[in-house]
A and B are shown apart, each in its own frame.
Chain A
Amino acid sequence: MRIYLRSLSLGVLLALASLAVAAEEGTIRLVLWQGFKYSEVGELTANVEEFTKSWNASHTPRIEIAVQQVSFDDMVKRMKTAALAHITPDMAFVDANSMVSLVYGQVARPLDTLKNFPPNGIEELRKEYVPGAFDTNVVEFGGKKHLYGLPAQTTTLALFWNKKMFRDRATELKAAGLDPERPPRDWDEFIRYGKILTQPEKGLFAYGLTNSLWFSMPIMNQYGVSLVRRDENGVLVPNLSNPRTEAAVNRNVNFFLKDKVEAGAWREGQLDPGQGFLNQKYAMILIGPWMIENFRASKLDFGVALVPRVPLEEAKRLGLVPPDADDNSTAAQHLSSGNIGGQNLMVVSASKHPEVCFEFARFFSSEKVQRGWAEKLGQIPICVAAQKNLDLSKFPEVPTFIEQVNLARPLPPLPFGGTLEVDIVNPEINLVLQGNRSTKDALASIEKKMAARILAPVNEAEAAARDSAK
């Protein structure tokens, strides 16, 4: 009898335990990788809690989102090793410029094939977001174009100018007919300001240049440069040997070579632009909003303005604006183009619950959440609706960034982005900056390498995909 009772009790206990396990198993556990700054993690955690609570109030099974911190710079590498070990998260915030690698690595899931994707399609959804940021998520892979993520946080470059350094040269600037209380508006004016602000004998320079493809993109975009194009057969070919690209590169390198307003900050041993601006050695730099906190902490008296435009006459000569355009025309306004950085929220292809992840991505990029990030943290809202009627009294620089990012364009969606930037473009432009190669020769060399190392494999893969589709 005793044995029977003991067995019965044990049986009941085991049954209860298995029920508890079943209840636990009924909860969907999602893993989210994020690489935000410490000051941003609190807001993200609050967003995750809010979404989870609201989801669990109306859905079964319940969800639980585990947020895991991964270094932003190592996110792609971690994803690569995690994929190899089959321990990927369900979703991740990734560098907007890494999307192509993640798609080609088959780690990112196409969102437009999900059951809960809005029925109006990608183009309709695009209208809700900053176009440049949204476009980093649209990638053609295997001959098909899909949406692989939603923009979550965006950045772009703008012109930072040191008001004190301008004031220190107020007399000279006024004598030259320039206003020391405002930054330059176009590149010709930038050079006029630059010649007065540059005092090499005192170690003071008007400008600090970063030599990298991504940092050059605002000027490239302003000059209407498209790094690649499709020829009449639909094959990708480099598109650099043309007057616009040459003009854009010359504009960038001549700040140092010809106009002598740049400090040589592009060199390895020099103070980089951020450090030089912080130390009041460079009066102007192109940098993103991530440096504002540092500059403020150093009590710098600085302002943020749109990237100076292509001078109107030059723009007309190059066919960038209609011949009758004036300074206030829309075409002229668009000459102050920017580049795109930031993070996208992607759903990992191995996730068993992509629809829930997509709902979270929609929630995170919603007007409400983006408004919170802008007003509390000074972020640029990626949702267009959230850009209106913001209280940005604590972040006076953000409106300029919002204006700039809406004019911005991303890098072309090509794989081997690191090879293109680090191994192909940067060394060639470095040679031009050293005065050891002409812009024309450098562009021809970039085209040759691009064609062989980047475009040839893409074209080959696309052709194979087309053949297999037949």
Chain B
Amino acid sequence: MFWGIFFVSPFVLVAAVFLLFPIAYSLYLSLRETTLYTSWFDQFGQMKYVGFENYRRLVTDPVFWYSVLATGIYALLLIPTTVAASLWLALMLHSKLPGYRAFRSAFFLPHVFDVFVVGIIWLLLYNPQSGPFAWLFRSLGIDWFTKNGFVDNPISVLPSIAFAMVLKGMGFGMILFLTALNNIPESIFEAADIDGASPRQKLFRVTIPLLRPMILFQMVTGLVGALNAFSEFYALTKAGGGPAFSFFGSTVQSARVSGFHLFRLFDESYYGSAAAMSFILLGFALIIAWVNFRFLGKDNTA
């Protein structure tokens, strides 16, 4: 017993200092708020105790609820598309098509680029007059994007950013799926062949069920990524938060996802509100992760 505690104590200590203390301190901050006269030399010490006021203010603020909704929409656009695209790429490359090594590197490459660099490139691609996407749509007889832009209007801004991030992130998902595919024993496919399974049946009855842990993993990490999404929105809206629109009578910025809203609160020194928002988002993340595990993780043996 003693030695057990002794050996885990370094980890417990590190976790306590770098994980548990910050969580507890954030909880403490979420019950306080900076005032107009808070000295920067003692910002946290001079914060005023406000009880649950930060939480109350957030849950009655339409801008906060829009940021949650926008994050949900973004997650719905991003996660299933990235998982599906990554899986499709992995299946293509797993079948060892000619030149698959070059394709593997090419698809993975965007993942290593900084989000800001990718954002600037996509801003050029999305230019409504001179960008290739606008030209493509124009040549198909659709000039809506030339008139309204891609990231310039509340309707298409979230799908446009999600599309850019799917193309950036699917290379990494593809590598994960390739690793998982390589770990499926060949004998299972041979058994399916003996049973006379068609390629479609092998995909839906053998491959995908066996990849379920990896799909679950990508869904959960994707969810965390969507909740933390900030840089792509900052870069693709030129730090502005996107075009404005009216949401239940309040003016909101259409690309103001929760990560962006959190950044604005923090940037303007509303540390208490920012901490409170983090805990509310944590609650949402836990609920969604639980739902994911409940429906995708209950049976891994297929």
Complex CA distance for A84 and B251, rounded to whole angstroms: 35
Q: Is the CB of B41 within 8 A of A430?
A: no
Residue in contact with A437 in the complex, picked from B127, B130, B243, B246, CB distance below 8 Å: B246
Complex CA distance for A426 and B241, rounded to whole angstroms: 10
* B269 closest partner in A (C-beta): A80
Stretch from A46-54, A267-275, A384-392, A400-408 contacting the other chain: A267-275
Q: Is the CB of B38 within 8 A of A428?
A: no
Q: Is the CB of B244 within 8 A of A105?
A: no
Q: Mark A182-196, 1 if CB is under 8 A from B, else 0.
A: 000000000000000
Residue in contact with B264 in the complex, picked from A80, A104, A264, A423, CB distance below 8 Å: A423
Complex CA distance for A450 and B122, rounded to whole angstroms: 35
Q: Give the residues from 219 to 263 in chain B that come closer than 8 angstroms, CB to CB, to chain A.
A: 236-238, 240-246, 251-253
Q: Is the CB of B151 within 8 A of A79?
A: no
Residue in contact with A107 in the complex, picked from B35, B37, B40, B151, CB distance below 8 Å: B40
Q: Is the CB of A104 within 8 A of B238?
A: no
Interface size on B, residues (CB 8 A): 40
B37 contacts which chain A residues (CB < 8 A)? Answer: 104, 106, 142, 461
Residue in contact with B40 in the complex, picked from A79, A264, A461, CB distance below 8 Å: A79
Q: Is the CB of A84 within 8 A of B244?
A: no
Q: Is the CB of A422 within 8 A of B241?
A: yes
* B157 closest partner in A (C-beta): A268
Q: Is the CB of B38 within 8 A of A434?
A: no
Stretch from A26-34, A225-233, A412-420 contacting the other chain: A412-420
A170 within 8 Å of B by Cβ? Answer: no
A67 within 8 Å of B by Cβ? Answer: no
A86 within 8 Å of B by Cβ? Answer: yes
Shortest distance in angstroms between B85's beta carbon and chain A's nearest beta carbon?
23
B268 within 8 Å of A by Cβ? Answer: yes
Interface size on A, residues (CB 8 A): 38
Q: A427-B252, A431-B245, A434-B244 are in contact. Are A269 and B40 (CB under 8 A)?
A: no
B191 within 8 Å of A by Cβ? Answer: no
Q: Is the CB of B36 within 8 A of A415?
A: yes
B272 within 8 Å of A by Cβ? Answer: no
Residue in contact with A268 in the complex, picked from B43, B243, B251, CB distance below 8 Å: B243
Complex CA distance for A203 and B134, rounded to whole angstroms: 14
Q: Is the CB of A104 within 8 A of B36?
A: yes
A460 contacts which chain B residues (CB < 8 A)? Answer: 36
Q: Is the CB of A269 within 8 A of B244?
A: no
Residue in contact with B242 in the complex, picked from A268, A419, A457, CB distance below 8 Å: A268
* B128 closest partner in A (C-beta): A269
Q: Is the CB of B243 within 8 A of A416?
A: no
Shortest distance in angstroms between B112's beta carbon and chain A's nearest beta carbon?
25
Residue in contact with B150 in the complex, picked from A83, A269, A431, A457, CB distance below 8 Å: A269
Complex CA distance for A268 and B158, rounded to whole angstroms: 13
Q: Is the CB of A418 within 8 A of B149?
A: no
B129 within 8 Å of A by Cβ? Answer: yes
* B237 closest partner in A (C-beta): A268
A142 contacts which chain B residues (CB < 8 A)? Answer: 37
Q: Give the residues from 140 to 184 in chain B that come closer than 8 angstroms, CB to CB, to chain A.
A: 149-153, 157
Q: Is the CB of A269 within 8 A of B127?
A: yes
A-B contact pairs, 11 of them (CB 8 A): A104-B36, A105-B38, A107-B41, A267-B149, A268-B149, A269-B123, A427-B244, A430-B253, A431-B251, A437-B246, A460-B36
Q: A270-B127, A415-B36, A427-B251 are in contact. List 12 more A-B contacts (CB 8 A).
A: A80-B40, A80-B43, A203-B130, A267-B149, A268-B236, A269-B131, A270-B149, A272-B238, A350-B41, A427-B252, A431-B244, A434-B153
Binding site for B on A (CB under 8 A): 79-80, 83-84, 86, 104-107, 142, 203, 264, 267-272, 350, 415-416, 418-419, 422-423, 426-428, 430-431, 434, 436-437, 445, 457-458, 460-461
